[in-house]
A and B are shown apart, each in its own frame.
Chain A
């Protein structure tokens, strides 16, 4: 009987007997637990985020009810959320072009068969590998007001005015985005560099023989060839800057020289709502917005790239 059941499973799983009995055993003992784990720690939470967004779930309230769009309507009136939303937009708008642009620039410079390439590569990559918390603390200290903030000291020593890095929210947000760009730049540089190295050397030489300048070679040969990688980089840069958290968290709290909460971003709001005020429903509603908008941005990026191909 048991054996018969087994063969049903086999027939359902495999077409034209492509699955052997021993393979079924392997799937049952290894694959099924693995995939169930995957479901518990990825798929179910992602699905539950979308579901909980429509409830009034609160850690202290015993009963959870379905409230429809109420969370989202409340978000529209929530000044904190609105400012966080636009701060996140600014994050993406400022960070993505900087990361992609500078990453490409450094990658192009490094791909010219240069001496000490490995050394430069390592130096650019170090900020990406190291933890964000100490990095953000150091940057925050650089930005500190008065005379012992190193950033202001350097500005003064070249004869420029001091900048209110931490007290003016607009500048503080840009300074925080600066930390984000500095941290992730190495990653984009590396993926572009790997792609550029895969461009066949004959193509570069052929264009040189044809009398093309370096800029023409880059513009018409190299960039079009690594376009898929640039698209991938843009998607990654968007997702990361859209869901940035740690540097904002460090900048807004901790030592005596913190910025105000004006520079908060969406994930920071999620953290506050869910783990400070315990309002899980509202936190999930914000996460829902994060999902939705990042999906839209990624689709737009794909469309732009497709459109560029035509």
Chain B
């Protein structure tokens, strides 16, 4: 009898728990849900004094006119290209640096490693002025290479891969060396394949990071429409079509969509990777 009562009590508290979670998670995604439905509304419907969640009349007009006013396909390509190049560098660079920090012992190594760890805590926006001046001295203002250059090394990725490569047994590496492998051979045959899961996690995190978290750097570097990333394109659009709420909302949806799809595909890995690296440099 008593057992039944506790059972019921537990069930009751479970329901309350679920209710709390459900309400709060709906609040978390509500802005996006509202955004999506609003982008299908007509103008009069959007500024109506009694807003409804669902459009009274579904329309695609907000989307159809988008390509005429701003080249969102181009913006998408720019974002894609920047993330791609940065991620390729990270895929090669992080395991190599991780290998050296994990398996080599030489003077200054610990110091360098601590230096890299310390920079994880320093956000890019605090040192962007000298970075901008360096890019200027290279003549790289308003170019792709200028936008990508600061993003090709991922400190937290090096840290994460070093921890991962430490678990690879030394005997394996020594055996490979005995068989006449050069250090590149060791890296290519042993280190890279065995740490590939970790590298993939880092690469995915880096992709999301460069896509959606370094807005300020792109804002500083890109002046011409040709180089705008999706977020900059959205800003540009928003400035020029001030009261066209339907158009702005549709543009927001277009901006959110690629990375949302990416997230839903790699959900597990992104959550794992982000919780390990923090997705900041």
A residues sitting closer than 8 Å to B (CB atoms) are 12-15, 18-19, 22-23, 25-27, 30-31, 34-35, 37-38, 40-46, 48-49, 52, 106, 109-110, 112, 114-115, 119-135, 137-139, 141-142, 147-148, 150, 153, 182, 185-187, 190-191, 194, 235-236, 239-240, 243, 245-246, 249-250, 254-256, 267, 270-271, 274-275, 280, 283-284, 287, 290-291, 298
CB pair B153 A46 closer than 8 Å? no
Q: A132 — which chain B residues lie within 8 A by C-beta?
A: 212-213, 215, 231
Which of A27, A46, A275, A284 sits near B122, CB closer than 8 Å? A46
Between A and B, 12 residue pairs with Cβ closer than 8 Å are A37-B153, A120-B21, A121-B271, A126-B29, A129-B259, A129-B274, A130-B263, A135-B31, A138-B249, A142-B31, A249-B219, A270-B126
For the complex formed, measure the closest distance between the CB of A266 and the CB atoms of chain B, giving whole angstroms: 9
Q: How far is the CA of A14 from the CA of B132 in the complex (A)?
A: 37
Residue among A141, A142, A298 with max Cβ neighbours from chain B (10 Å)? A141
CB pair A109 B21 closer than 8 Å? yes
The yes or no answer to B60 lying at the interface (CB within 8 A) is no
The yes or no answer to B87 lying at the interface (CB within 8 A) is no
CB pair A138 B34 closer than 8 Å? yes
The yes or no answer to B182 lying at the interface (CB within 8 A) is yes
For the complex formed, measure the closest distance between the CB of B52 and the CB atoms of chain A, giving whole angstroms: 11
Known: A106-B21, A283-B129. 20 other contacts (CB 8 A): A18-B106, A22-B183, A25-B182, A31-B100, A38-B116, A38-B155, A42-B153, A45-B127, A48-B127, A109-B17, A115-B18, A123-B26, A127-B29, A131-B255, A141-B248, A187-B275, A235-B121, A239-B123, A245-B125, A255-B239
The yes or no answer to B2 lying at the interface (CB within 8 A) is no
Q: How far is the CA of A145 from the CA of B220 in the complex (A)?
A: 31
Q: B220 — which chain A residues lie within 8 A by C-beta?
A: 271, 275
Q: Is the interface of A mostly helix, strand, loop or mixed?
A: helix
**Which residue on A lies nearest to B122, using beta carbons?**
A46
For the complex formed, measure the closest distance between the CB of B168 and the CB atoms of chain A, giving whole angstroms: 16
CB pair A267 B215 closer than 8 Å? no
CB pair B31 A138 closer than 8 Å? yes
Q: A114-B17, A132-B212 are in contact. Are A287 and B274 (CB under 8 A)?
A: no
Q: A26-B183, A41-B131 are in contact. Are A130 and B32 (CB under 8 A)?
A: yes
Q: How far is the CA of A33 from the CA of B182 in the complex (A)?
A: 19
For the complex formed, measure the closest distance between the CB of A157 and the CB atoms of chain B, giving whole angstroms: 9
Q: A106 — which chain B residues lie within 8 A by C-beta?
A: 21, 24
The yes or no answer to B58 lying at the interface (CB within 8 A) is no
